[in-house]
Amino acid sequence: MKHVSIIVPDNQTTLSSVACIVGAYEMFDLANEYWKENGRQEFIKTELVGVSKKADFHKGLVTVSPHTHIDDTPKTDLIIIPSLIRDYQKAMKGTQLLSDWVSKQYRNGAEIASMCSGAYMLAAAGLLNGKKCSTHWCYADNFRSLFPQVNLQPEKLITDENGIYTNGGGYSFLNLVIYLIEKYYDRPTAIYCSKLFQVEIDRQSQSPFIIFSAQKSHGDEIVMKAQEYIESRLDEKITIEDLSSKFAVGRRNFDRRFIKATGNTPTEYAQRVKIESAKRTLETTRKTINEVMYEVGYSDVKAFREVFRKITGISPLEYKNKYNKEAVV
C-alpha cells in the first residue's frame, strides 16, 4: 500500500493552508472510495502528519489534529506541502523540522508536491535548485530574489520534474490534486473527482490570472526613469536603442541593468505594461480589439494577438469574453 502524507505545519500558516490540507485529504479520500466501488482493492493510505498533536489556524478559528507525528512516519511515498504564511523568512525558520523530514524522505525515494507558497519550503531546503518551479504569480519577484538558482515559471499552473510537483496560487491547488490522482490512480478516477468537485481537468496555465506589477524596489535610478518613460508612452513603439540613447547608457549595459533590476528585458517590460493596460480596458469598456490595440501602441493585429496570447495564454477576444460581462451581452 502506498502512503500519502499531507503536512500540517505548526504556527506558520493561514486559512489557505487549511483549505489545501482539507481539500487534498477529501479528494484523495474520494478517489479511494471510487477505486473501491469499482471492485479494486484500496492501495493508498492518506494521513495528516505534523510535529505537534494539534495546530491552530487563524488565531484558533480552526484546529487541525494530525493523524501522526513525522517521527512515527519513517517511510512515505508522496508528501503534500500546503501553502505557508506570507512572511517567508519566518516560515522557513518555523518549519525546519518538517523541512528536514521532507528532504530525508525525498532522498529515500518519496515524491513531493507543494501548493502555492509551499514551494518556499522546498526551495529553502535546496530541493528545487536547477529545477522548474511554480508558485503564486504575486510572489514571483520575492521568490526569485531569494532563490535565483531555481527556474521559476510563474505562468505554469503545475510543474513536474524528478519527483517534485509544484503549482500556482490560490485554489489552483485543486488542479494539482487532480493531477496527482491521475498519476497515482488513473485517468478515469481523476475525471470522476474532477466532475464531482467541479474542478477543471488538464488546466495548465495561471497566465490569465496574472496581474503585472512592475518591480521598482531595485534602487537603479536610470532603470526607474526608463520604466516611467515606458509607462507614460503606452501608445508609442519604443526601442531599446531609443531608451539607451535617451539615458546615455550603452545598449548592452542598459539591457543588462534593466534585466538585473526588473527580471525582464526592456522589450519584455514594455510588452507586459502594454498588455496589462489592454487587459484592464478589455475588462471595463466596450472598446473593440482594434481600438485597444492602437491605444497600447500596436498597429498589426497579428502581432498584438501573438504578444497578448504569449503573456496571458489566451487571445484578446477570449479574454474580453471571459472578463467583461457587457461584452458577452
Q: Which amino acid is at 151?
A: N
pLDDT at 194: 96
Angle, in degrees to the nearest 10, between helices 173-184 and 187-197: 150
In this structure, which topology does domain 221-328 adopt according to CATH?
Answer: Arc Repressor Mutant, subunit A (1.10.10)
Where are the domain boundaries for CATH 3.40.50.880 in the chain?
A: 2-209
Cβ-contact 132, 159 below 8 angstroms: yes
What is the location of CATH 1.10.10.60 in the chain? Answer: 221-328
- How far is CA 258 from each of CA 104, 129, 229, 310, rounded to the nearest angstrom? 40, 24, 13, 21
What pTM does this model have?
Answer: 0.80
Sign of CA dihedral 306, 153, 137, 47: positive
Residue 60, pLDDT score: 76
> What pLDDT, on the 0 to 100 scale, is given for residue 144?
87
Q: How many CB atoms lie within 10 A of CB 162?
A: 12
Q: Which CATH superfamily is domain 2-209 in?
A: Class I glutamine amidotransferase (GATase) domain (3.40.50.880)
- DSSP notation for 112-146: EEE-GGGHHHHHHTTTTTTSEE---GGGHHHHHHH
Is there a contact between 157 and 205 (Cβ–Cβ < 8 Å)?
A: yes
Chunked mean pLDDT (size 10), the chain, 329 residues: 93 83 96 93 93 82 91 96 77 76 96 95 93 92 89 93 94 96 96 95 86 82 92 88 87 89 90 95 94 94 95 94 76
